[in-house]
Amino acid sequence: MVEAFAVASGKGGTGKTTSTLALGMALAEDYDVTVVDADMGMANLLFHAGLADVETTLHDVVVEGGAPVEAAVYERHGLSVVPCGTDLSGFAAADPTRLRDVVATLAADTDVVLLDSAATLSSRSAVLPIVLADRVVVVVEPTIPALSDGLKVQEYATSYGTETAGVLFNKVRDDDAIDRIAPKAERYFEGPTLATVPASDTVRGARRAGQPLLAYAPESAAARAYREAARSLSVREGDSGAVADRFRSAVVPESL
């Protein structure tokens, strides 16, 4: 079985990468999970996952005659992690449509694929993970611009045949009146509120330590919220072979 989720927000700074890894680790308690840094222009998952020094990344895979996907898969924290390099020349050389084949290959051998997506909707490569995924997890802060961009992500997803798995409210402070805001927001999102993750210094601490939150502070309130979100996701059964085929024949043409 396999289901691919894009973790997306449309806006920077909402904590997508932290959320991707945290959801991944929480889901890994029940599933075989692969996390891919699909934000190829502004990759940062490698720093969060303690993979800053690795030699082969997604950039090396998605170039003409590149490395096999397996060379960029690292087993960390109970997950298979595919980091992406931060070198801009690597990004320039990358062919984003090859991401489709990467996801197809990974899908053959995992239960859940999480695609950490770009914080923008302005380019083809940024939107591609949303196109490839079965469902999108929309990460928002309880602010007007973040909610507005979250809604745009959902519209893009819907337009490209991708469903909304739910909304994750991140960096929520005590005084954000989230108990009033979340139900109002839910009226516009196709999926439920997966969890509200409190703002905390622990998250920054984890990032500085180069560790995923659930490894750094597994009992923190934020970590608990992510586990709750993972439980709400109810991963769907899919036939790996069929999913892999679907990715291979995805709607993206070979050339730009």
Partner 1 sequence: MKLPSGRLVRSRVITDPRTVLVDALDRALTGYAVLEPQDALLLDDEGAGVVTFEDGVPVVAYHTGTDRGGPPALADLAASGPYRLELYALAAADLAAVHDRDRFRVPPGMAAERLAGDQSLADRTRERAPADRLADSADRGTDEADRSASAVEAFLDDEEKIAAIREQARQQAHRRADEWGFDV
Q: Is 170 helix (H, G, I), strand (E, B) or coil?
A: strand
From first CA to last CA, the distance across the chain in angstroms is 31
Q: Does 232 bind partner 1 (CB under 8 A)?
A: no
Of 87, 92, 124, 239, which lies in the binding site for partner 1, with binding defined by CB under 8 A?
124
Per CB under 8 A, the list member of 22, 176, 195, 220 interacting with partner 1 is 176
**Using rule CB under 8 A, residue 65 touches partner 1:** no
Q: Does 248 bind partner 1 (CB under 8 A)?
A: no
- Where residue 71 falls (left for φ over 0; alpha for ψ -120 to 50; beta otherwise) is alpha
Is residue 173 involved in binding partner 1 (CB under 8 A)? yes
Q: Is 181 in the site for partner 1 (CB under 8 A)?
A: yes
Q: Which is nearer to partner 1, 183 or 218 (CB)?
A: 183
Beta pairing partners, 127: none
Looking at residue 192, what DSSP letter applies? -
Mask for 74-113, x = binds partner 1 (CB under 8 A): ----------------------------------------
Pick from 134, 187, 194, 191: nearest CA to 165:
191
Runs of H (alpha helix) within the chain: 16-27, 45-48, 58-61, 88-93, 98-107, 124-132, 144-159, 178-186, 201-209, 213-216, 221-232, 240-248
Q: Residues in the site for partner 1, rule: CB under 8 A?
A: 11, 13, 121, 124, 127, 131, 141-148, 151-152, 154-156, 158-161, 173, 175-177, 180-181, 184-185, 187-188, 251-253, 256
